[in-house]
Structure 1
Amino acid sequence: MSLLVRKSSSLVVRPSPEPATTTTRATIKLSSFDMGLYNMPTTSLLVFERPLHNAAETIQAALSRALSHYYPIAGRIVAREGGCDGDGGDEDDDEVYIDCNGEGVAFVAASASQALKEVVCFDDLAVYYPDMACGPGDPLLLMQVTEFSCGGFVLGVTWNHGVADGAGMAQFLNAVGELAAGLPSPSVPPVRWDGSLPSLPPSVLEAQQHMLSLEPLSDLVSMHVTISMESIHSIRADFSSSFHGQPCTTFEVALAVLWQCRTRAIGLDPETPILLMFVADVRRHVGAKEGYYGNCIVEQFAMATSGEVADGDVKDVVMAIKRAKDRVPGLLKEDEGQGMVSQQELRNVDTYGMLLVTSWRNLGFDLVDFGSGRPARVTSSGKDMPPSPAVLGFLSNGRDGVSVLSTLVREEHAGAFLAELAKFTVRSS
């Protein structure tokens, strides 16, 4: 059964005039963490199974109040020549800013005649930017609330990545939930400008630009798989036993399973270089202020040959990922970017040999509560995975394990990939 979603006309939600003490700045300069992301959208879908009376109206009202605290989200991103007339830093030429003009965000109320349990595809449960790119003058946030016949609802949030990373957007949505519950202000005071943040080293920025410049792959098949917690616990126990009690995380195991299964499935020559890229939150490494919701993430790479990943034990793949994570603080060292993969190494990897993974786990999306309880599921949308310069995987918490929405392989490799996953007792659909 196809999902029929009835959408209202898009409304503009502006910051509430309360509290009257809210102070705004004219502009906020984007940091080096933001600069490569300000025309990129991303989407998060929060699935709530318990009914919330007048869900759309409740969330819309709380959204307006939250924007009075998170006023940059109601602004627009613009490029300017010259300096900044807020307190965003020194005067530089050709900088990109958030213009805190209060123009507001887009909000759509929607309904569906089906029950949530009948929904297979979530693509129509969010609003998207035209051509999947954020253009000049576009709102920085697009929100849709879809109410279902069973009483459950889905919150779809699409935002300009330049204004917030995943942890920052989760912080904002938690603030919306707190205001919907009647709190006078968010429990975590928001911070959008933090002048103490370091600039990213040139090597890190160059690697980011290289990845963004690659030609997209358009022939990948979309799949939704779940890596069972039973398998994850088993691998974690085996890893700890093999490495003198050293622990590993669910994230590291999930990445290792995906990387190994995919590498085996696509069958590259054993000496072919391959790459895993994952996103790391570095707030604690750079001393970001509490409540900072701008971008504070870096991309880290793990390099290997196809044979090392495909033919090795999965716990050794976990260790390779752990070592890459341990190198993250070195990426931030001024003018060095220690631990960053070189440009030459990146150029040696074919795009189909690259696996890009980001995780919604532990960012705070699963804590959002508008009055009827936390979401049963947090995921992304298939439309949020357009043709990419590499294969993609979005990790989120599932009832039975780690849920992965992915475009990981071409059609001819899909069967082999699922067969490899089955060896780890992974349930797929």
Structure 2
Amino acid sequence: MAGAPSLITFPVRRGERQLVGPARPTPYVFKMLSDIDDQDVLRFYRSGIFFYRSNASKAALDPVKVIKSALAEALVHFYPLAGRLRELQPTRKLVVECTGEGVVFVEADADVRMDDLGDSLAPPVPCYDKLLCEPESPTAFVVDRPLIYVQVTRLRCGGFIFGFQICHCMADGMGIVQFLTALTECARGVPGAPIVRPVWERELLTASWPPEITHDHQEYAPLPNPGKDMVTPSDVFAHHAFFFGPSEIDAIRSQAPPTLRSTASRFDLVGAFMWRCRTAALGFDPDDAVRLHIFVNARVRNRSRRTVPTGYYGNAFAFAAASAPAGELCRRPLGYALQLLVEAKARASQEGYVQSVASFNAAHRRPPFPKARTYLISDVTQAGLLAVDFGWGRPLYGGPATTMLATFHQEGRNEAGEAGILVPIRLPTLAMERLKQQLRKELLAYVAIKTADKIDSNLVTGPNLAKL
């Protein structure tokens, strides 16, 4: 049920950085970001990477030229992304100056074939630092810089890798996929592209004055003794991608309380299960409070006072927070963690919650986001990442290039081709070894002997090349 990242390395020859601007003139205006966009925690560049096999019908086409031309066309419609962020003083409020200067584009070639990378990829993908323009980091200076960086890397086999980084202040996961979909429509020559027209309307999630905070926002309150953590930047980290197929999910579901057994989603079940196992692996003191943070999409009905319109590509989410003493979380049955997760999502799904978050951020001038003893998870299995098709077909892999602060639940397959959920994790090396053991122990305790052999096989031979 687990896979370690591939250790393969290969040379990449990069060309000079170029600026790609909109294909036609666009408005010169200033556009204010919302109070959800304008959080310090979002001041970094979020990466994505897509691997494409060669396609005989596209043999005469250069993916670099196709994507570069499509990028210029897509920026006509998403023209704020071709501008630059400015910071208004003394409040540090971010505003986009729509200058049309463009985004960074790099052409590259790699001395490797797609088959050399294996059939199953998971973050961190091989040589990600050579396939992205900028170093990966959970923080970055975003003012007066290009808002998007793109690198298209040709492979020896005729396939290619599309890597990009986008300033998170400009778009959330759904917004990023919307832009990428528009980009691929332009690349494929879809008439009337983009099919879904981009909508700005950031005032929808901008606080009125005085700010009206209508809900409690414990997700921004630091836990007691925040310095008492088991993960520090100086740690030596290991990466692993855990795979949950139907057998593993059924085993977890069997341990859910009857009231949640039929209603809890796969994301809920795996999220609660991993929270318990990760907490146990990190070895917190029993009385240490640990927290789970969950991204909640405000585009879903009733999570916003006003409906977030189709085509809105800004940040439209809130964090749902659950917390518990580490000892109690690990000692009590899975149903305890699952109930906390479900209740947290319900609180963050109340009408007007996201506007209250915007008001809270405005009133507190972008409060710091607590990270100590916190497990942050997001579900991107329904985001459409594997539908990002430039005309060469669906990607072999599409998703984050690396594992950092957040853990994304992604679509994945094991070595047998079975579909399921891939959960890439980054932890200190010793904690990772304990986590593998904890997962094996927990899952094997949940199933009958006749199923145990199958689950144990998945645990040992995971989706990404290596064995435990």
> Secondary structure in 1 aligned to 2:36?
helix
Map residues 123-138 of structure 1 onto 2, 5 A cutoff: 123=128, 124-128=130-134, 133-138=140-145
Seen in structure 2, the aligned counterparts of structure 1 residues 394 and 282 have a Cα distance that, compared at 3 Å, is same
The question of whether the paired residues in 2 share the 8 Å contact of 1:171 and 1:364 is answered with no
1:110-155 deviations in Å (ceiling 9; x for gaps): 1212122433524221111697513332100001112222332221
The question of whether the paired residues in 2 share the 8 Å contact of 1:201 and 1:334 is answered with no
* One-letter amino acid matched to 1:372: W
> Secondary structure in 1 aligned to 2:381?
coil
The question of whether the paired residues in 2 share the 8 Å contact of 1:144 and 1:155 is answered with yes
Map residues 192-207 of structure 1 onto 2, 5 A cutoff: 192-197=200-205, 199=207, 207=219
Map residues 365-380 of structure 1 onto 2, 5 A cutoff: 365-380=385-400
TM-score by length of 2: 0.76
Greater Cα offset, 268-277 or 310-319: 310-319
What CA distance in whole angstroms lies between the structure 1 residues aligned with 2:87 and 2:341? 38
What CA distance in whole angstroms lies between the structure 2 residues aligned with 1:28 and 1:350? 30
Matched, 1:188 2:203: no
| Structure 2 residue ranges without an equivalent (≥5) | 1-7, 118-124, 415-419, 444-454
What is the CA distance between 1:241 and its match in structure 2? 7.4
What CA distance in whole angstroms lies between the structure 1 residues aligned with 2:354 and 2:424? 35
Map residues 382-393 of structure 1 onto 2, 5 A cutoff: 382=402, 385=404, 392-393=406-407
* One-letter amino acid matched to 1:106: V
Seen in structure 2, the aligned counterparts of structure 1 residues 226 and 150 have a Cα distance that, compared at 3 Å, is farther
TM-score by length of 1: 0.83
Q: Which residue among 428, 442, 447 is the counterpart of 1:410?
A: 428
Map residues 230-309 of structure 1 onto 2, 5 A cutoff: 230-235=246-251, 237-238=253-254, 242-243=258-259, 246-284=262-300, 285-286=303-304, 287-309=307-329
Indicate the residue corresponding to 1:121 in structure 2.
126
Matched, 1:399 2:426: no
> Secondary structure in 1 aligned to 2:37?
helix
What is the CA distance between 1:240 and its match in structure 2? 6.9
Matched, 1:319 2:364: no
> Secondary structure in 2 aligned to 1:32?
coil
Matched, 1:358 2:358: no
Matched, 1:45 2:49: yes
What is the CA distance between 1:319 and its match in structure 2? 2.7
Give the share of equivalent positions with the same residue, in percent.
26
Greater Cα offset, 195-204 or 227-236: 195-204
Indicate the residue corresponding to 2:34 in structure 1.
31
What CA distance in whole angstroms lies between the structure 1 residues aligned with 2:371 and 2:378? 20
What CA distance in whole angstroms lies between the structure 1 residues aligned with 2:339 and 2:396? 31
* One-letter amino acid matched to 1:412: L
How many aligned residue pairs are there? 398
What is the CA distance between 1:206 and its match in structure 2? 8.4
Seen in structure 2, the aligned counterparts of structure 1 residues 208 and 237 have a Cα distance that, compared at 3 Å, is closer
> Secondary structure in 2 aligned to 1:420?
helix
What is the CA distance between 1:30 and its match in structure 2? 0.7
**Structure showing greater relative contact order (alpha-carbon pairs closer than 8 Å, 6 or more residues apart):** 2
The question of whether the paired residues in 1 share the 8 Å contact of 2:188 and 2:390 is answered with yes
1:4-46 deviations in Å (ceiling 9; x for gaps): 11111111110011xx7xx635011010110115521111112
| Structure 1 residue ranges without an equivalent (≥5) | 83-92, 386-390
* One-letter amino acid matched to 1:394: F
What is the CA distance between 1:258 and its match in structure 2? 1.6
